Amino acid sequence: MLFDVIIRVLAALGLTVLINASGITTLSVVMSICVFLILEISLLFDNKWVYGTLSVIPFVITTGYVLQQDRIALRIFSLLVLAGFTLISTILYEQMMQYKNLLHRTRDDSKELEEILQDKNRRLMAEQDQQVHLATLGERNRIAREIHDNVGHLLSRAILLLGAINTVNKDEKLEPQLKMLADTLDESMAKMRASVHDLHDDSIDLKKNFDDIIGELKTYTVNTDLDLDEAIPTNVKLSLIGILKEAVTNILKHSNGDSVSIIMQKNYSFCTLSITDNGTISDAIKEKLTTENYEGIGLSNIKNRATSLGGDAYFYTDKGFTVFARLPL
């Protein structure tokens, strides 16, 4: 903007010199002021045609005024100077527009890179949280196995020994104490088993994770049919949660629909997860999906999560966009 102001000030000064070359009169002063004002006022308009028209008018006025002069030499000199000013102004203006476009492009690229970086940071944080979660699960499972293998084995042996003692015991006075000891051991075994069960795989609440992810679809009408069996293995639970998260993120970023359907079914050997939205899909995207030329890493992550468990994932574009995953149990 400042560059354009400077160009117009120089052009106005040059045109003023030409207008007053044959002498300063009231008319020449008024025309000089008008030329200056028109050149500077043109900066207030964003419309290309209005901007260009107002820029040309001062040169036309100056040319007409100079051609009315009586001295031929002054006419020629003035026209040459005017042509030179016009050429220089045009060149400077083109350079200014190039710099302006370059500035806008750089700003847009910077904004796009910033958004990409923020998205990658969010993904990295999510992956770090999941790694911490998996490490915590691994440690809890290790503790559960040790309790089950060591403490459980000792309690089982104590119960068997107590049973043997009860079989050979002939002293009736010891029977109440032995029964109390047997009840204590049985209660200890039950509590140990409950603790091991709580430590093992129940820490991944499939329903809570699904509800949290589906809750992000605040502006969509969501229909669900979910068979959320907590007996599903841990690795399958994590894959189901990851696939649903990627699909919902894809809908929030790219879908122009207003309705989402989420269906999960389970039988004895495998489970399936289907996420469908009613957005429109362009022919170019359909062609890329047909050739598995996916853009971004979201769809690739869904495919990789399914295949890593021996399953598969498919993407359909009939009446919207569907992510379908089949995972073996």
Q: pLDDT tens digits for 275-284?
A: 999 888 777 7
Give me the number of domains the chain comprises.
3
Distances, alpha carbon 201 to alpha carbons 137, 156, 234, in Å: 8, 23, 6
Residues 323 and 287 in one domain: yes
What the block records as the tokens of 115 is: 């958004």
Query: What is the average per-residue pLDDT within 260-267?
Result: 91
CA triple 5-8-14, angle to 5 deg: 145
Regarding whether 210 and 195 lie in a shared domain, the answer is no
Backbone torsions φ then ψ of 261, nearest 5 degrees: -120, 130
**Identity (one letter) of the amino acid at 152?**
G
Residue 120 resides in a domain: no
pLDDT of residue 104: 76
**pLDDT tier at 129 (50, 70, 90 boundaries)?**
low
In a shared domain, residues 214 and 253: yes
Out of 152, 172, 199, a domain closes at 199
Kindly state whether residues 190 and 216 are assigned to the same domain. no
Residues 128-155: what's their mean pLDDT?
Answer: 69
Residue 131 in this model has a pLDDT that exceeds 70:
no
Query: Is the model's pLDDT at 253 over the cut of 90?
Result: no
- Please report whether residue 16 resides in a domain: yes
Q: What pLDDT score was predicted for residue 152?
A: 72
66 in the same domain as 130: no
Mean pLDDT score of the chain, rounded to an integer?
76
Is 194 in the same domain as 210? no
pLDDT at 136: 67
Boundary-marking domain end, from 107, 138, 159: 107
What is the edge-to-edge ordering of all strands in the sheet holding 270-277? 221-226, 259-266, 270-277, 321-328, 312-316
220: left (phi over 0), alpha (psi -120 to 50) or beta: beta
Asked if residue 121 belongs to a domain, the reply is no
SS3 for 22? coil
Q: Is residue 326's pLDDT more than 90?
A: yes
Does residue 53 belong to any structural domain of this protein? yes
89 occurs within a structural domain:
yes
pLDDT > 90: percent of the chain: 7
Rounded distance, CA 279 to CA 286, Å? 13
- Cα(107)–Cα(114) distance, integer angstroms: 10
Nearest to 68 by CA among 14, 31, 13: 31
Does 114 reside within a domain? no
196 Cβ contact partners less than 8 Å away, ≥ 6 residues apart = 144, 147, 148, 152
Domain presence at residue 118: no
Q: What pLDDT is recorded for position 223?
A: 92
Give the DSSP per-residue string, 111-138. Answer: HHHHHHHHHHHHHHHHHHHHHHHHHHHH
Q: pTM score, two decimals?
A: 0.44
**CATH number of the domain encompassing residue 218:** 3.30.565.10
DSSP state of 280: -
If residue 312 lies in a helix (H) or strand (E), which one and from where to where?
strand 312-316
Q: Is residue 116 part of a domain?
A: no
Q: Is the pLDDT of residue 204 over 90?
A: no
Reply yes or no on whether the pLDDT at 293 is more than 80: no
218 and 289 co-located in one domain: yes
Show which of 107, 135, 170 is a domain's final residue: 107
Residues 184 and 211 in one domain: no
> Same structural domain for residues 7 and 48?
yes
Q: What is the residue range of 153's domain?
A: 126-199
3-class SS at 311?
A: coil
pLDDT of residue 116: 79
